[in-house]
Amino acid sequence: MRSAAEIESLVKRHQESLLRYLRFLGAEEALAQDLAQDTFVAAIHAEFSDIEPKSTSAYLRTTARNFYFMWLRKHKREVALPGDDVLESAWHEEEGGDFGEGYQRALQNCLGQLTDRARLALKMRYGDNASREQISFATGLDPEGAKTLIRRAKEKLKECITRQVGKQDTYDL
């Protein structure tokens, strides 16, 4: 068994990426956190070798994916997901070769280019889990207007990030 310090270090190194991956698969925030914990506990009990970050990350992703599929089966949830190979290639495409650091920098830059109101709406939606009514109250828009504001903000972010990370604009409508 690893020491507490080793476990803490392992969790801290991989938790963000693992949570991101579970959300990427479609897990809600609370479920993603539960499954990520299950994944770490299972991996630590399995005494896997943490040789280098890439293989550890792949190992944790596979375990997390299995836990997520088990959860879906147990709760009889139907979620349309592509095959494992498509998922993996889509994930690598987003993350790039630097564990998503380039994407993160681009996102931070692009958020700075949005209007204050759009940023507030995104912050309330994704940072505080605020309802559409709360967002509309805070932004002074009606609920539909708030929804549109968020959608447009995200589109702008996508375009901006694509430009910054140099990705092909293959997914735009």
Choosing from 31, 44, 72, 165, the residue that interacts with another protein (CB under 8 A) is: 44
Whole-number Å distance between alpha carbons of 157 and 29 = 22
Q: How many CA atoms lie within 13 A of 28 on its CB side?
A: 6
Q: Which x/- pattern, by CB under 8 A, does the window 7-26 give for another protein?
A: xx--xx--xx--xx--xxxx
Question: What values do phi and psi take at 84, rounded to 5?
Answer: -60, -40
Q: Which x/- pattern, by CB under 8 A, does the window 67-106 give for another protein?
A: -------------x-x---xx--x---x-----x--xx--
Our finding on whether 141 is near another protein (CB under 8 A) is no
Least distance to another protein from the beta carbon of 23, Å? 4
Nearer to another protein by Cβ, of 55 and 89: the residue is: 89
Least distance to another protein from the beta carbon of 21, Å? 8
Write the CB contacts of 86 (distance below 8 Å, at least 6 apart in sequence).
none
Choosing from 31, 33, 50, 99, the residue that interacts with another protein (CB under 8 A) is: 33
Write the CB contacts of 77 (distance below 8 Å, at least 6 apart in sequence).
71
Which token pair is 62? 């596979």
Whole-number Å distance between alpha carbons of 39 and 36 = 5
Q: Coil, strand or helix: which one is 2?
A: coil
Question: What values do phi and psi take at 150, rounded to 5?
Answer: -65, -40
Which stretches of the chain bind another protein, using CB under 8 A? 1, 4, 7-8, 11-12, 15-16, 19-20, 23-26, 29, 33, 36-37, 40-41, 44-45, 80, 82, 86-87, 90, 94, 100, 103-104, 107-108, 111, 120, 122-128, 130, 134, 137-138, 154, 157-158, 161, 170-171, 173
